[in-house]
Amino acid sequence: MNWNRQHLLDLQSLSAAEITLLLDTARDFRSFGERDVKKASTLRGKTVINLFVEPSTRTRISFELAAVRLSADVINFTAEASSLKKGETLRDTVRNLEALGADFIVMRHGASGAPHFLARFARAHVVNAGDGAHEHPTQGLLDVFTIRERKGTVRGLKVTILGDILYSRVARSNIWALLKLGADVTLCGPPTLVPRVFEKLGCRVVWNIEEAIRDADVVNLLRIQHERQRKSMFPSIGEYASLFGLNQARLRLLKPDALIMHPGPINRGVEIESGIADGPQSVILEQVSNGLAVRMAVLCLLAGAGSVPAVGTVADGATA
């Protein structure tokens, strides 16, 4: 199939075939980082602006690196030092960035729906790098990519997402991608953060961690999103860690080949014990590496470069 969308705003609106095309394209890019010359000319002459109004390490750096490796000009917009601080609207900001030649706006914003708003008027490609508690589509893609690479398929796997589901954009993007690709999804955490309404999406809701992880092929742990919670959703961090943290006793309940995932940043000792985050079942840093391939694939497909150039022609003068 061919990619024919101008923007990547969410995974909810993508078909299974579109998600699969993104994952297959990312697979072609995975070996890119092993080449001597990590450069392709695909986006030469294009300008990518990273407009991050919320903090980020992994997403912003990997979008920047993806764009650089594809030979785009990359500008990192610093919200704190911008005229947003003087009251300029997001719409005016983006129109000005387009007047300066932006071809891609990669945006992280605290307001759910902000990238959808931009897409109503933007000429540039809009890529959602996380909007409020709504979606984080490239994180969802890199998570299912990591699962598919490790397990061979997503279909039929039991995936448990554990933690702050209510306020997590990562959870929503994971849920959409996993369900569309045929996984069984279990959500677990305190009832205040995992309301039964998620069952309407097709997920199983379980409030007992031992039950949620026992049969899982994958356990994806999420950070408590304090920055989005207006009131306390559980008595204390210590109580959360004792009831829902992945510790050594709970690790022993897991299948030996179950994958342990986390989108980062990790709060060590809260949702996961430090030794488990760094242990043999953890694929946390693999997720980060795969994020680069996924973001290269996203930029290429949006630019209309539907297929990855063959090895030896990707980089000017480079060989694999």
Which residues form the interface with ligand CP (CB under 6 A)? 56-59, 130, 136, 139, 263-265
| Residue placing its CB nearer to ligand CP in the complex, 139 or 186 | 139
What is the nearest approach in angstroms of ligand CP to the Cβ of residue 228? 13
Pick the closer one to ligand CP by CB: 46 or 136. Answer: 136
CB of 59 to ligand CP, least distance (A): 3
Residue with smaller CB distance to ligand CP, 11 or 315? 11
Nearer to ligand CP, 108 or 158 (CB): 108
Per-residue DSSP letters for the chain?
Answer: -----S-B--STTS-HHHHHHHHHHHHHHGGGGGSSS----TTTT-EEEEEESS--SHHHHHHHHHHHHTT-EEEEEEGGGSGGGGT--HHHHHHHHHHTT-SEEEEEESSTTHHHHHHTT-SSEEEEEEETTTB-HHHHHHHHHHHHHHHS--TT-EEEEES--TT-HHHHHHHHHHHHTT-EEEEES-TTTS-GGGGGGT-EEES-HHHHHTT-SEEEE----GGG-SS-SSS-HHHHHHHH-B-HHHHTTS-TT-EEE--S---BTTTB-HHHHTSTTB-HHHHHHHHHHHHHHHHHHHTT--SPPPTTTSSTT---
- Closer CB to ligand CP, residue 16 or residue 68? 68
In the complex, what is the shortest distance from the CB of residue 142 to ligand CP, in angstroms, rounded to a whole number?
A: 9
CB of 236 to ligand CP, least distance (A): 24
Q: Which is nearer to ligand CP, 265 or 275 (CB)?
A: 265
Least distance between ligand CP and beta carbon 287 (Å): 8
The minimum distance between CB 139 and ligand CP, in angstroms, equals 5
